[in-house]
A and B are shown apart, each in its own frame.
Chain A
Amino acid sequence: MLIVIDTHSGVPVYRQVMDQIRFHVASGLLAPGDELPSTRTLSQQLGVNPMTISKAYSFLEREDVIERRPGRPLVVREVDTDRERRRKVDSLRESLTPVVTTVRQLGIDPALALEELRAMLREEPDIGEETT
Chain B
Amino acid sequence: MKIIEFDGIHRAYRRGEDVLDGVTFDVRKGEVVGLLGRNGAGKTTLLRIAMGMLDPQRGSVRVFGMDPLKRPVEVKRRIGYVSEDQILPDFLRVEEIIRLHEGVYPGWDAALESELIDQFAIPRSARIAELSKGQARQVALICAISHSPELLILDEPAGGLDPAARREFLETSIRMLNETGTTILFSTHYMNDVERLAGRVVLIHRGRILLDSDLDRLHEDYSICLVPFAAGVDIDTLTGLPGCLAARERREAMHAVFSMPPAESAALIEREAGVRGSSCRGSDLEEMFIELVGGQL
Contacts and interface: CB of A to CB of B under 8 A. Distances in A.
Interface of A: 5, 7-15, 40, 43-44, 47-52, 55
Interface residues of B, number: 27
A50 to B, nearest CB: 5
B100 to A, nearest CB: 30
Nearest to B217: A12
A54 to B, nearest CB: 11
B178 A5 contact: no
Contacts of A52: 199
Interface in B191-242: 191-192, 195-199, 215-216, 219-220
B175 interface: yes
A12 B219 contact: yes
A46 to B, nearest CB: 8
Chain B interface mostly helix, strand, loop or mixed? helix
A8 B288 CA distance: 11
Interface of B: 30, 32, 167, 170-171, 174-175, 177-178, 191-192, 195-199, 215-216, 219-220, 281-287
A12 B284 CA distance: 9
B196 A8 contact: no
B158 to A, nearest CB: 13
A11 B216 CA distance: 8
A10 B197 contact: no
A57 to B, nearest CB: 14
A7 B196 contact: yes
Nearest to B222: A10
A43 B177 CA distance: 10
A43 B284 CA distance: 20
Given A44-B175, A49-B174, A51-B32, A10 B198 contact: no
B174 A51 contact: no
A109 B245 CA distance: 41
Nearest to B287: A10
